[in-house]
Amino acid sequence: MATTNLSYYDKTTIPNAKDLRFGIVVSEWNENITEGLYQGAFDTLKDCGALSKNIIRSNVPGSFELIFGCKKMLDTQKIDAVIAIGCVIQGETKHFDFVCEGVTQGIKDLNIKYDIPTIYCVLTDNTMQQSIDRSGGKLGNKGVESAVTAIKMATL
């Protein structure tokens, strides 16, 4: 995917989302990236028929908190899919590895526990520039891809 623009999709291959409800849980950490991902997901859901009133947003402080935020949304909202949006950028310590593994395993666990899909939209890049490129930059927007995935999984 390193050279693929993630924003291209064929609407004719995606079910109409007008009768679906979506949750989007957004990490506030690296907000300049996560807001771009959120906007890509929100705009794509709307483009595919979802109503604004059927897209519920919740914010959490960081990517590690996405797991609890998604669980809370799954427990309290009537939704057909939830998208977890975050961004973790490699630093000088092992913190990156622990956060990435924890978030990945936590979202996997939510998919096993619940009969509602949780979509992984967490960038795990080496540099801020890589995250910029994948959140509305030259490589498109991973949020767009996650919204398409949420629609397809909700109608599976």
The model scores a pTM over 0.85: yes
Q: Are 24 and 85 in contact (CB under 8 A)?
A: yes
Q: In the sheet where 22-27 sits, what is the strand order?
A: 55-60, 22-27, 81-89, 118-125
Confidence of residue 4 (pLDDT cuts 50, 70, 90): low
**Residue 131, both tokens:** 């995250």
Total residue length of the chain: 156
* Candidate CATH numbers 3.30.70.580, 3.40.190.10, 3.40.50.960, 3.40.50.1970; the one for domain 19-154: 3.40.50.960
What pLDDT score was predicted for residue 18?
Answer: 97
Q: Which amino acid is at 7?
A: S
How many C-beta atoms surround the C-beta of residue 70 within 10 A? Answer: 26
Average confidence score pLDDT of the chain: 94
Query: Phi and psi at residue 27, in whole multiples of 5°?
Result: -75, 135
Q: Express each pLDDT in 49-108 by its tens digit.
A: 999 999 999 999 999 999 999 999 999 999 999 999 999 999 888 888 899 999 999 999
List, by residue number, the catalytic residues: 95
What's the DSSP call for residue 117? -
